[in-house]
């Protein structure tokens, strides 16, 4: 009796695990903010001297 009770539990566990795997596979399509992460790290490049005028101009344009 105990063994037969354990089998459905294992099946539901496998189903939930495969569902979680499908979610992680689908996630890159849904969570499109991920490709933005490299861009959020890039502003350190905007501190380079030759880009600072462009950054200042862009900030002025954004403020007006």
pLDDT tens string, the chain, 64 residues long: the values are: 555 555 555 545 545 555 555 555 555 555 555 555 555 555 555 556 666 777 788 888 888 7
Looking at residue 50, what DSSP letter applies?
A: T
Q: For the whole model, what pTM was predicted?
A: 0.24
Distance CA 18, CA 10 (A): 12
Distance CA 32, CA 28 (A): 6
Number of CB atoms found within 10 A of residue 4's CB: 7
Where do the H-state alpha helices sit in 1-64? 2-30, 37-41, 52-63
């Amino acid at each position: 009796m105990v063994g037969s009770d354990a089998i459905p539990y294992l099946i539901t566990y496998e189903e939930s695990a495969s569902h979680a795997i499908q979610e992680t596979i689908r996630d890159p399509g849904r969570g499109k903010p991920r490709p933005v992460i490299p861009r959020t790290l890039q502003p350190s490049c905007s501190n380079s001297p030759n880009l600072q005028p462009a950054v200042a101009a862009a900030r002025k344009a954004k403020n007006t």
